[in-house]
């Protein structure tokens, strides 16, 4: 393979999410999140797994940061658990907040830059009982929570992300019922889209007020979408619908100040004066989570109503591509396409999640996956795209949402019975990429 060298200052990191790794879900004042409640629903999560013990990061944090240092990670993207910091969405919990205070200090002591995500899907269950993201008031509760975290960590944390993948929160959680809170209500999902984006805007305002030197943005899971047959009107319509629901309904309000008119018509009725000005306030970067691309058709067996609200006619014909352990098609070229398509949004891009589920510690498939996708980023940079960093998903094997502990995304193997950590082959490989700032011959 040819040599690929990344620009000076390119950021190499790894990412996690609080509910997936922390465990300790009932200690130090933490209240239930929607995921704690969802895990108690029979059949909602594979094998009846829960977020406790997770990878016990709450107790093993210092050891995990030492592992990051041993791998040469320059940055660590993590999320704060809202139910720890403001249990039930209410008063501030100093014990919960102190964990993130210690985490940030430990990272900085090891020379690792903290990248903080405020919301990675763990809404306090009490707020869900009041309507959750279908309730406009939840966005204002998020602003209160953001104020709490920023006031505590403004002196040490520069890089802030409001939301992670609002598509999953809105559509998997409120339409498809696949993720917490497990609802199957398209109208609630539409409302959740707007209220999540409003939370982003309110969160950005709080960050700007409390962290003068903040580098702040939002992270979206984005997928390049193409029709099976570009000359077939039904396929083109299908691609437009999926691109609208997956990408444009979140990109357009942030960068253009409006929702696309061709998807979720009910969104327009939810917008109140001043909302779009908040949502479209300038961001300093866009976080891009990429796992696969989509090629879609308007023909074939109709889909049952699910997370694709208004696009139930779309089909996803399989292609002759390798599959991850999750059954996802692998196409690293799609990442180049996506980054090139995003270049005209006018802000720096960071690949804030990219990875795959594969079994084993000698995980050659993961090495191949990461090699192809990191080279795809290099190809985008060669085409003039301003990509400034890469965060591998994930640092640790973890609770993989509805799949429980069955799928392993980590660079580090976790024995969930003993909590022993073992660097996988991919971790050693990634450490060399970081040290070389790219690939040798």
* CB neighbourhood size of 9 (10 A): 9
Distance CA 402, CA 50 (A): 9
Distance CA 33, CA 173 (A): 13
* Residue matched to tokens 């339409």: 175
Q: Provide the phi-psi class of 255: left if phi over 0, else alpha when psi is between -120 and 50, else beta.
A: alpha
Distance CA 143, CA 195 (A): 12
Distance CA 264, CA 186 (A): 10
Helices (H), 40-136: 57-71, 82-85, 94-109, 125-129
Q: What angle do CA 335, 337, 340 make, to 5 degrees?
A: 105
Closest CA to 128 of 58, 179, 204: 179
**CA diameter of the chain:** 59
Residues 6 or more apart whose Cβ sits within 8 Å of residue 193? 166, 170, 171, 249, 250, 264, 267
Sign of CA dihedral 202, 203, 209, 215: negative
* CB neighbourhood size of 209 (10 A): 14
Distance CA 99, CA 61 (A): 9
**CA 139 vs CA 32, 89, 181, 279: distances in Å:** 19, 11, 17, 12
Chain length of the chain:
441
Q: Where does residue 377 rank: exposed (0-12), middle (13-18), buried (19+ CB within 10 A)?
A: buried
Catalytic residues: 165, 353
Distance CA 417, CA 179 (A): 25
Closest CA to 165 of 117, 216, 120: 120
């Amino acid at each position: 393979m040819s040599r690929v060298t990344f620009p000076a200052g390119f950021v190499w990191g790894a990412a996690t999410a609080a509910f997936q790794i922390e465990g300790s879900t009932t200690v130090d004042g933490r209240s239930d999140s929607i995921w704690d409640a969802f895990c108690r629903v029979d059949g909602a999560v594979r094998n009846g797994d829960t977020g406790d013990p997770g990878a016990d990061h709450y107790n093993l944090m210092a050891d995990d940061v030492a592992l990051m240092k041993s791998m040469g990670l320059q940055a660590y993207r993590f999320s704060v658990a809202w139910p720890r910091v403001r249990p039930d969405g209410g008063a501030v919990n100093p014990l919960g907040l102190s964990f993130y205070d210690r985490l940030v200090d430990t990272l900085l002591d090891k020379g690792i830059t903290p990248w903080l995500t405020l919301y990675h899907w763990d809404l306090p269950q009490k707020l869900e009982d009041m309507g959750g993201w279908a309730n406009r008031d939840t966005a204002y509760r998020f602003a209160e929570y953001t104020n709490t975290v920023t006031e505590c960590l403004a002196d040490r944390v520069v890089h802030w992300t409001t939301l992670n993948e609002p598509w999953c929160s809105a559509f998997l959680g409120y339409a498809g019922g696949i993720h917490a809170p497990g609802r199957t209500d398209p109208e609630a999902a539409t409302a959740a889209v707007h209220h999540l984006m409003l939370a982003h805007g309110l969160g950005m305002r709080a960050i700007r007020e409390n962290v003068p030197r903040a580098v702040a943005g939002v992270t979206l899971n984005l997928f390049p979408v193409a029709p099976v047959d570009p000359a077939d009107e039904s396929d083109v319509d299908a691609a437009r619908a999926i691109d609208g629901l997956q990408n444009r309904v979140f990109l357009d309000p942030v960068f253009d100040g409006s929702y696309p008119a061709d998807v979720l018509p009910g969104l327009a009725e939810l917008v109140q004066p001043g909302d779009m000005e908040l949502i479209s306030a300038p961001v300093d970067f866009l976080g891009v989570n990429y796992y696969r691309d989509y090629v879609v058709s308007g023909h074939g067996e109709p889909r049952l109503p699910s997370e694709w609200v208004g696009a139930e006619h779309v089909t996803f014909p399989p292609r002759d591509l390798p599959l991850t352990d999750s059954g996802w098609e692998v196409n690293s070229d799609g990442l180049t396409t996506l980054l090139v398509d995003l270049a005209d949004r006018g802000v720096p891009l960071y690949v804030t999640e990219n990875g795959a589920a594969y079994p084993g510690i000698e995980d050659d498939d993961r090495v191949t996956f990461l090699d192809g996708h990191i080279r795809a980023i290099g190809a985008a940079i060669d085409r003039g795209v301003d990509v400034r960093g890469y965060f591998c998903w994930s640092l640790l094997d973890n609770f993989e949402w509805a799949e429980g502990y069955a799928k392993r995304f980590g660079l580090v193997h976790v024995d969930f019975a003993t909590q022993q950590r073992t660097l996988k082959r991919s971790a050693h490989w990634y450490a060399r990429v970081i040290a070389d700032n790219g690939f040798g011959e």
